[in-house]
Amino acid sequence: MQKLLTQSEWIERAQAVLPAGGFGNFDPGIIIARGQGSRVWDENDREYVDYLIGSGPMLLGHGHPEVMEAVLEQLPKGMTFFANNSKGIELAEAIVDAVACCEQVRFVASGGEADMYAMRLARAYTGRTKILKFEGGYHGMSAEAQMSLAPNARVNFPQAVPDSAGIPQGVADQMLIAPYNDLAAVEMLLAENPDVAAIIVEPLQRIIPALPGYLQGLRRLCTRNGVLLIFDEIVTGFRLAYGGAQERYGVTPDICTLGKIIGGGFPLAALGASAEIMKHFDKSVVGAADWLMQLGTLSGNPVASAAGLKTMEVLRRDGAYAQLRNNGEQLQNMLSSALTKAGLAHQICGDETLFDVYFTGQACTDYRNARHDHPAVNERFNQVLRDNGVFKSPGKLYPSLALTADDFELTSQAIRRAVQSIGEMQSGA
């Protein structure tokens, strides 16, 4: 019988073989052993209510029985083929039925790939070279996406600041950076740069909502200037509504990217657009010079497609999104009530389906003002939450449909303890 290792032993092993001791995604000081429903357990068998949910995909919770059944039905039939398969085709049909801008889709394995190809597709279609993105916007790990994601230096717009080593200056020269929620800045940049191929935007930037009319304004500016509008819906797709941000806000982009939920917890993502734009993936239609080459070993993987199809089926059922929003609203009210009672300045920022708290008294409308007045307060808050059985990202909270009354009670107690701890820290106790 194999000896069970403690969490500290797993951390030691990870430090020997993984840079910085982790996968690069999350705090390497915790090793998750398993998940079920709304809960996860670490390697010391400590239990948490899970508000990270795999950074968003597990909207139904871990090990949903219907999703598990769909996966187990597919596994004996084959795990991957590098060829068309019926589950992938069915999933493409379901996405086209659900998402306003999609007449056709192309599958990839990750959201970062989808965003990379979306920008490349926009260049192929328009024949232009520049991409406009927003400071603080996250679009994966491509060279273009790693421009002004989290810049420490506040440079003048539209200068792009690389967030990673190894990116040539030539990439920065093709990127324009604008402040989120500022239509005047976008209008000026488009007027000065007729070679912009696309604007890529998160309709909900991380957790910062678009101001009323902002997304509609981007749509108008893109149409007027012959620029493609790309919605990065890796996070918002099938979360804000079944039709994603496009349904929620009533704005249809030219291209969108989807991930997380459409794979049901497995590696799968997609980009979609009109057949006219997507024809650049078909060499026989556009010719070699205008063809956009794209392939991937796991693209359209049948197991991921089966999981995604079943997840989407569950989400289509009556009341699913009402319940999700109700869950999020309960959590928001818990946070706001406890923080207000303690006299702590704060903003609950985001949508009921995805949000967090900023410890600040000012409105959070872009990367530069969406920040904590005292970062140490946020660090203490999140640490005490985890110490009391709440597992979340330091900057996001993902509600799920798996949450129970017991989860809300545990979370409420953890929030009260975290608020009390902040008070003790501020008083020097």
* Residues 245-304: tens digit of each pLDDT: 999 999 999 999 999 999 999 999 999 999 999 999 999 999 999 999 999 999 999 999
Boundary (domain end) residue, out of 265, 288, 315: 315
AA letter at 55: S
Q: What is the pLDDT of residue 170?
A: 96
- Choose, from 50, 232, 356, 407, the residue flagged as catalytic: 232
Across the chain, what does the average pLDDT equal? 97
Reported as a single tens digit per residue, the pLDDT across 119-130 is: 999 999 999 999
Query: Looking at the predicted structure, is the pLDDT value of residue 168 above 90?
Result: yes
pLDDT (average), residues 142-166: 94
Phi, psi of 393 (to 5 degrees): -70, 155
Q: What is the pLDDT of residue 370?
A: 96
- Choose, from 51, 138, 214, 321, the residue flagged as catalytic: 138
State the CATH number of the domain containing residue 377: 3.90.1150.10
Query: Looking at the predicted structure, is the pLDDT value of residue 212 above 90?
Result: yes
Reported as a single tens digit per residue, the pLDDT across 366-411 is: 999 999 999 999 999 999 999 999 999 999 999 999 999 999 999 9
- Choose, from 260, 279, 310, 392, the residue flagged as catalytic: 260
Query: Looking at the predicted structure, is the pLDDT value of residue 3 above 90?
Result: no
Q: Is residue 242 part of a domain?
A: yes
Query: Looking at the predicted structure, is the pLDDT value of residue 361 above 70?
Result: yes
Boundary (domain end) residue, out of 299, 315, 331: 315
State the CATH number of the domain containing residue 76: 3.40.640.10
Q: Is residue 6 part of a domain?
A: no
Query: Looking at the predicted structure, is the pLDDT value of residue 2 above 80?
Result: no
Q: What is the tally of structural domains in the chain?
A: 2
Q: Is 310 a catalytic residue?
A: no
Q: What is the pLDDT of residue 429?
A: 58
Confidence of residue 360 (pLDDT cuts 50, 70, 90): very high
Q: Is 321 a catalytic residue?
A: no
119 close to 144: Cβ distance less than 8 angstroms: yes
Query: Looking at the predicted structure, is the pLDDT value of residue 81 above 90?
Result: yes
| DSSP bridge partners of 62 | 37
pLDDT (average), residues 413-425: 96
Alpha-carbon span 381 to 296, nearest angstrom? 41
Query: Looking at the predicted structure, is the pLDDT value of residue 166 above 70?
Result: yes
Q: Is residue 107 part of a domain?
A: yes
Boundary (domain end) residue, out of 315, 343, 361: 315
pLDDT (average), residues 162-178: 96
Query: Looking at the predicted structure, is the pLDDT value of residue 427 above 90?
Result: no
> What does the DSSP 8-state code read for residue 353?
T
Alpha-carbon span 414 to 389, nearest angstrom? 7
Do 323 and 212 lie in one domain? The reply is no
Query: Looking at the predicted structure, is the pLDDT value of residue 191 above 90?
Result: yes
Q: What is the pLDDT of residue 1?
A: 61
Q: Is 182 a catalytic residue?
A: no
Alpha-carbon span 401 to 167, nearest angstrom? 40
